[in-house]
Amino acid sequence: MPTPIPRPLVAWRNAVFVVFFISGLATASWVSRVPVVRDTLDLRLDQMGVLIFGLSAGSVVGLVAASAMLARLGARHAMVSSITVSTVGLLAVGLGTDVAGSAPLVFAGLALLGFGMGSVDVMMNVEGAAAEREIGKTLMPLMHACFSFGTVVGALLGAGASAVHLPVAWHLALIAALILGTVVIAVRSIPHRRELGDDGGITNAGATSSWRTRLGENLAVWRDPNVLLIGLIVLGMTFAEGSANDWLALAAVDGHGFSNTDGAIVFGVFVAAMTIGRIVGGPVIDRFGRVPVLRSCAALGVVGLLLFILAPTTWLLVAGVVMWGLGASLGFPVGMSAAADDPRRAAARVSAIAIIGYFAFLVGPPALGLLGQHVGILGALYVILALMVLAGLAAPAARERSHGRVPATASDDRG
């Protein structure tokens, strides 16, 4: 009979699940309204690429700042701070679209949204890897399934908002209030951990020295070739996911003649496939191993992309979207688990891989918009195909290591 998981670890795991969910909800809420924002502001495809770059620029800053925020503030306060910035960004996007009619205000809002989402994504992956290691079970795919489930809910709510012509400002304001209230409650179950500097017993001078030392250790992992190869896997897979998040709905509208509402539904199909892949991914990986699963995912994603780009009928297009979503579903969570295989440097390695993944997730898609202005959005998607091939070739870097369970490092103070 399996050993019961201690209640504090269950609460920690569930809190991380919730943070993943609200991160997906916030992301999809913006993505599902991209066609409406484009139409309201009357922007060209290349101008939309520049607008989305605001999200990417803010996210890159958030990715870089995340480790320092964790070391300085601890996981609880850092997560709440990041989500607060994201809610301000969502409000600015809505006001810029419906009230001010200002692309620069939307750009600024996306930059704030990107900062919050980029930083909290690193934080939740660091916490998720730590919880997975403490519990001793493969949980990362399921955690990322929570993110994908959040995107499914966000896509459905966005499609509903579009169908009833709910203004973007009202839609995003409601989402902002929901995610802020949820994270404030959820983080209470995240433990204080000494390695993050949120042990109340250390002095201010010792804390300053400690977090600077940890920052130096975080930078050192970038010289590890294995980290860079795992990063290549994550780069290819998250480029596929991020490009779908930003461009799939618009590609369905502009490339295949769908309505704005139908474009949001196609995006919902993609994130539903991602969610299913992540729910079943843990048992599949435990049975067949990381490397065969990653290679199969890369192949499935390549076929799905080709079907979406070239499909002459709707049912083939939908089949391609499903295969694309399944193919991209496990790259990021498996990369996080592989990064955490070295428990002594798990936080630093997870942070580095998360930075690579979210850099691709958020910087790549705007580049597709600029390329799509010249070759068409469907033609630009061939870049994703090439990167998924590279991810499949780099799969051996994620091979499992054998190591024992690491003793708990969380403090007993979880209140």
Greatest mean pLDDT among 60-74, 112-126, 398-412: 112-126
Specify the amino acid at residue 365: P
Residue 410, pLDDT score:
41
| pLDDT band, very low/low/confident/very high, at 169 (cuts 50, 70, 90) | very high
Q: What is the pLDDT of residues 72-87, one digit of tens each?
A: 888 899 999 999 999 9
pLDDT tens for each residue of 95-141: 999 998 889 999 999 999 999 998 998 889 888 878 887 887 778 88
With vertex at residue 282, the alpha carbon angle to CA 281 and CA 283, rounded to the nearest 5 degrees, is 95
Pick the CATH number of 7-398 from 2.40.170.20, 1.20.1250.20, 3.40.50.720, 1.10.1840.10: 1.20.1250.20
Q: Please state the rounded mean pLDDT for residues 346-362.
A: 75
Contact 250, 262 (CB under 8 A): no
What is the reported pLDDT for 75?
Answer: 87
Is the pTM value of this prediction over 0.75? no
Contact (Cβ atoms closer than 8 angstroms) between residue 102 and residue 57: no
Whole-number Å distance between alpha carbons of 237 and 361? 9
Mean predicted confidence (pLDDT) in 278-300: 90
In sequence order, which residues have a C-beta less than 8 Å from that of residue 105 and are 6 or more positions away? 92, 95, 96
> What's the chain's length in residues?
415
What is the DSSP-derived secondary structure letter of residue 259? -
Site of tokens 């998040």:
245
